[in-house]
Amino acid sequence: MPAPLARALHDLPTAPLCVAFSGGLDSTALLHLLAAARPTHGLRAIHVHHGLHADADRWSAHCERVCAELGIGLAVIRVNVATTGEGPEAAARAARHAAFESALAPGDVLALAHHLDDQAETFLLRALRASGPDGLAAMRRWRAFGAGRMWRPLLDVPREALLAYAQGHGLAWIDDPSNADVAFDRNFLRQRVLPLLRERWPHASDALARSAALCGQSDALLEDEDARALATVASVDPQCLSRAGLLALPEARRARVLRRWIARLDLPALPANGIERIEREILGARGDAEPVFHWHGAVVRAWRDLLHAEAMRPDWPSGWCVDWDGRSPLALPTGDALMLQGADGFDAPLRVHARQGGERLTRPGRSHSHALKQVLQELGVPPWEREALPLLSDRAGALLAAGDLIHSAAFDAWLRERGARLTWRREAATHDAIAIDGD
């Protein structure tokens, strides 16, 4: 066995192991290698059926035969690849990662067959996107993934070593013809760019992969300082940072803190010009302005000293209004919900609707009504939260509540008499996350 392959499994986990098995050369070699290294009862495989190629069913059948011969269980997961602004490569990758994540139980390890040449390609792709040290670190050997962890044991192994291993053991694998299509960025690098580089520098892949590893080491050191800097600008709400605090940081540190914050919120990675846009359009805006920056289904806003980020939420449909008796939770078109807790329901159905403007209510302890807009401003509710508020009114049109933030005097008394509570459950907004790894 070649030396790189002999060293590849030095950190073989004892946890249940799941191999991402496409049926190609790389994953076939990895599956065979792992089957020989540990009892197969702790090993299983996943094949993702994208349905994008006419031979996709044949490929699944091939994977089933290989796993049956090795005595390894195989799950075939069919996915629908949704077209995204990131292109077909990213869309297929996102669908694949979602399938892998759904198949992992807590503590499971997902093994991927990325090798040294894949790492070199990923480093070049990230460099062409103007990535910093975190991006240029490319693919990591270990990282958290879903309910478990992701493991790439072959990152130091060149493809030629995998080919020699597969041929030496008489393995059969699938050759996906799409891998030769240079319309895809990765294939263009693999088929055109890297062979040309190797003509001049034979060890180009090794050098690029080594650079990725060095960037990973540098990034690990920087991350400690990033974490401390982020803590100094954080607010009680994890989705908000202090603009003044951010502006007090050095520009380079501020950029890293922003990227770390976005990643912590599980939002799509900022585009290449994302930091520049936030710097230019958001951070320095006036306190009474409401600047907004959108990307890939996510949004960053500023208001007063707050910088706020979240996934995009659906707008209220025009004229939406429903009757609600309070007996069961009410799903809202924004993805949120209203619940009445501690009471069996309202005395008579009430109406739930979006803000239209001009609403007024009399708050507890007050003798006259106030404009809802004024009350929300006095309470410091950010504009985007004001627009998302579900309103509760009686049949005559009198405003009773704005979410669970504001109650009228009459509705507050009604709740207190019954020991009840109105809750506006704001679900985490969702987005189609695009994985930034090589696969």
Q: Where are the domains positioned within the chain?
A: 3-115+122-129+139-212, 234-311, 321-425
- Give the model's pLDDT for residue 1: 63
Query: Once rounded to an integer, what is the mean pLDDT over residues 8-33?
Result: 94
438 pLDDT more than 60:
no
263 pLDDT more than 80:
yes
- How would residue 84 be classed by pLDDT, with cut points 50, 70 and 90? low
User: Could you report the per-residue pLDDT of 217-228, keeping only the tens digit for each?
Assistant: 998 888 889 999
> Alpha-carbon dihedral of residues 265, 268, 272, 276, nearest 10 degrees?
-40
DSSP string, 132-195: -HHHHT-S-SEEEETTEEEE-TTTTS-HHHHHHHHHHTT------GGGG-TTSHHHHIIIIIHH
Q: Which residues carry a binding-site annotation for ATP?
A: 22-27
Q: Which residues carry a binding-site annotation?
A: 22-27
- The mean pLDDT value of the chain amounts to 90
> Full-prediction pTM beyond 0.85?
no
201 pLDDT more than 50:
yes
Nearest to 390 by CA among 328, 342, 324, 346: 324
Separation of alpha carbons 172 and 174, rounded Å: 7
User: Could you report the per-residue pLDDT of 397-417, keeping only the tens digit for each?
Assistant: 999 999 999 999 999 999 999
Amino acid at 267: L
Nearest to 434 by CA among 294, 313, 263: 263
For residues 238 and 266, is the Cβ–Cβ distance under 8 A?
Answer: no
Separation of alpha carbons 235 and 378, rounded Å: 20
User: Could you report the per-residue pLDDT of 275-325, keeping only the tens digit for each?
Assistant: 999 999 999 888 778 899 999 889 999 988 999 999 888 889 988 999 999
For residues 111 and 30, is the Cβ–Cβ distance under 8 A?
Answer: yes
Domain 234-311 has CATH 1.10.8.350: no
436 pLDDT more than 60:
no
- Give the model's pLDDT for residue 255: 93
379 pLDDT more than 50:
yes
- Give the model's pLDDT for residue 435: 34
Query: Once rounded to an integer, what is the mean pLDDT over residues 110-119?
Result: 96
Query: Once rounded to an integer, what is the mean pLDDT over residues 36-44?
Result: 84
Query: Once rounded to an integer, what is the mean pLDDT over residues 62-88?
Result: 85
Say which residue, 292 or 384, is predicted with more confidence: 292
- Give the model's pLDDT for residue 86: 62
- CATH number at 3-115+122-129+139-212: 3.40.50.620
- Give the model's pLDDT for residue 83: 66
- Give the model's pLDDT for residue 293: 95
